[in-house]
């Protein structure tokens, strides 16, 4: 859900497990290992997104033509496409709360933000999602 590509998501999840492999036992609170793993995956996704943005800018400069299309979802699933248009933190907040069914506190820990900031991210994400879907439907 964060990357828009199942294979890339699997690679990032694998990389996250490798990154935290030796660190899990050294955590101050081992109960937060899952949040630590989610945070690592999100950071890897953000890093990948920054890399893709740099590549797109470079391609635009080289081609001097129309900008490179953003990552699109396979098929015509308007919700999926709308999710991919959300900022990464809003997408991550929605992913953790509704797809992974993580508690609000654990999701806030994974995103390294306060509980109220998480609720704000979720509200903004849902509002943006509704707006994009309504625009696509022409409402």
Position 17 scores a pLDDT of 81
133 touches 78 (CB < 8 A): yes
- What is the C-alpha separation between 33 and 137, in angstroms, rounded? 41
* pLDDT value, residue 68: 38
What would the 3-class secondary structure string for 22-38 be? CCHHHCCCHHHHHHHHH
CA dist 16 and 44 (Å) reads: 8
| Fold topology of 6-137 | Arc Repressor Mutant, subunit A (1.10.10)
pLDDT digits (tens, 9 = 90+) for 99-116: 888 889 888 888 888 999
Low-confidence residues of the chain, pLDDT below 70?
25, 61-76, 139
């Amino acid at each position: 859900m964060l990357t828009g590509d199942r294979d890339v998501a699997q690679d990032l999840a694998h990389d996250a497990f490798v990154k935290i492999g030796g660190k899990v036992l050294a955590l101050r609170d081992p109960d937060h290992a899952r949040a630590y793993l989610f945070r690592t995956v999100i950071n890897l996704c953000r890093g990948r997104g920054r890399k893709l943005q740099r590549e797109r800018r470079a391609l635009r400069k080289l081609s001097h033509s129309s900008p490179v299309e953003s990552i699109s979802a396979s098929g015509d699933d308007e919700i999926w496409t709308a999710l991919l248009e959300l900022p990464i933190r809003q997408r991550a907040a929605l992913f953790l709360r509704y797809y992974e069914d993580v508690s609000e506190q654990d999701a806030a820990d994974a995103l390294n933000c306060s509980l109220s900031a998480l609720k704000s991210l979720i509200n903004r994400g849902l509002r943006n999602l509704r707006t994009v879907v309504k625009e696509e439907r022409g409402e």
